[in-house]
Amino acid sequence: MSEQQFNLMKVIYNGLFLDFPLKYREAACKEFSWSIPTFYRKMRKSRRSLELVGGFSIAEWQILEQIGHNVITNLTQAYQTEMTKYKRLLDNNNRNI
């Protein structure tokens, strides 16, 4: 990877912000055997005003929370790996100047 090929803003935006919703949806659909339309139906606000967890059982809510945590952790690790590669590239280029 050359310096010209690396765009920090693109890595941050694509790697963290665009990937999170997709990866979260994929993981939730896999865990609960949902289709994509079912995922979005479940995401809509519950019609029952007293439900604190959006119509999910406590166990489902905890699983959804854990999925979110896992996705964020994995994306953060991937981001840190990319930053390490870029810093090495910069260090190597600075040594060659």
pLDDT tens by residue, 26-35: 999 999 999 9
- What does the pLDDT read at residue 72? 94
Residue 17 forms part of a structural domain: yes
Residue 7 forms part of a structural domain: yes
- The domain total for the chain is 1
Distance between CA atoms of residues 29 and 8, nearest Å = 31
Mean pLDDT of 76-91: 85
Domain that holds residue 15: 3-44+59-95
- What does the pLDDT read at residue 97? 61
Residue 67 forms part of a structural domain: yes
DSSP string across 16-66 = IIIHHHHHHHHHHHHHHT--HHHHHHHHSPPS-TT-SSTT--HHHHHHHHH
Residue 15 forms part of a structural domain: yes
Which one has a higher pLDDT value, 56 or 96?
56
Return the minimum-mean-pLDDT range out of 23-27, 43-47, 69-73.
Answer: 43-47
% residues pLDDT > 70 (the chain)? 81
Residue 53 forms part of a structural domain: no
**What angle in degrees, to the nearest 10, is found between the helix axes of 58-95 and 19-32?**
140
